[in-house]
A and B are shown apart, each in its own frame.
Chain A
Amino acid sequence: MAPPLFLLAPPRSYTSVINAMIGQHPDAFGLPELNLFNVERLKDFWRPVSHEIGGDSNRRHGVLRTVAEIYAGEQTPETINMALHWVAVREDRKTEEVFKEIVSRIDPLIPVEKSPAYTISMKRLTRIFETFPDARFLHLVRHPIPQSKSIAKLNDGIFAFFFNAFEFENNRLIVDPQIIWHDININILNFLDIVPKDQQMRMRGEELMEHPQKQLAIVCRWLGIRDDDNAIEEMMHPERSPFACFGPINALFGNDPNFLRGSAFRQHKPKIPPLDEPLPWREDGKGLRMEVLGLAQDFGYK
Chain B
Amino acid sequence: MTKQIDKNRQSKKLGERKKICKIDTEPKDLKKSLEGLTAPQKALREASIRKFKVNKVKAFIAEQVKHININRQIGDSIRFLFDKDGEPPVNLPLEDIIAERMKIETQIRWFEALCSELRNNLSKVKEIEDLALDLIDQYQGEI
Seen from chain A, the residues whose Cβ lies within 8 Å of a Cβ on chain B are: 48-54, 77, 81, 120-123, 126, 133, 156-158, 161, 163-166, 168, 171-173, 175, 179, 182-183, 186-187, 189-194, 196, 248-250, 289, 291-292
Nearest CB to that of B44 among chain A residues? A173
B66 within 8 A of A: no
* Residues of B participating in the A interface, judged by any CB pair closer than 8 Å: 6, 8-9, 12-23, 25-28, 30-32, 37, 40-41, 44-45, 47-49, 52-53, 55-56, 59, 113-114, 116-117, 120
Q: A49 contacts which chain B residues (CB < 8 A)? A: 30
Say yes or no: B19 contacts A156, CB within 8 Å. Answer: no
A292 vs B17: C-alpha distance in the bound complex, in angstroms?
A: 13
Give me 17 other A-B pairs in contact (C-beta within 8 A), A168-B37, A168-B44 excluded: A50-B30, A51-B30, A51-B31, A77-B117, A81-B120, A120-B25, A122-B14, A156-B56, A158-B52, A161-B52, A164-B25, A172-B44, A173-B45, A175-B48, A183-B19, A190-B15, A250-B117
Are the CB atoms of A249 and B116 closer together than 8 Å? Answer: yes
Residue contact A52 to B20, C-beta cutoff 8 Å:
no
Partner of A77, one of B9, B20, B28, B116: B116
A contact face: mostly helix, strand, loop, or mixed: mixed
- A54/B15 in contact, CB under 8 A: no
Closest chain-A Cβ to B109's Cβ sits at a distance in Å of 10
**Residues in chain B near residue A182, CB distance under 8 A:** 19-20
Check if B53 sits within 8 Å of A54, measured CB to CB: yes
Q: Are B14 and A193 in contact (CB under 8 A)?
A: yes
Is A186 within 8 A of B116, CB to CB? no
Bound: A182/B17 CA distance, A: 11
One of A126, A133, A173, A249 near B117 (C-beta < 8 A): A249
Let me know if A196 and B14 touch, CB within 8 A. Answer: no
How many Å lie between the Cα of A52 and that of B18 in the bound state? 26
CB contacts (< 8 Å) of A168 on chain B: these are 22, 37, 41, 44
Are A166 and B48 in contact, CB atoms less than 8 angstroms apart? yes
Contacts of B116 in A (CB 8 A): 77, 249
Asked if B40 contacts A77 (CB within 8 A), the reply is: no
Task: List residues of chain B with CB within 8 A of the CB of A192.
Answer: 15
Residues from chain B with Cβ under 8 Å of A172 in the complex: 44
Q: When the two chains form their complex, are residues B16 and A190 in contact, meaning their CB atoms are under 8 A apart?
A: yes
Which residues in A have their C-beta under 8 angstroms from that of B44?
Answer: 166, 168, 171-173
B94: min CB distance to chain A, Å: 31
B residues in contact with A164, CB < 8 Å: 21-23, 25, 32, 45
Is A53 in contact with B15, judged by CB distance below 8 angstroms?
no
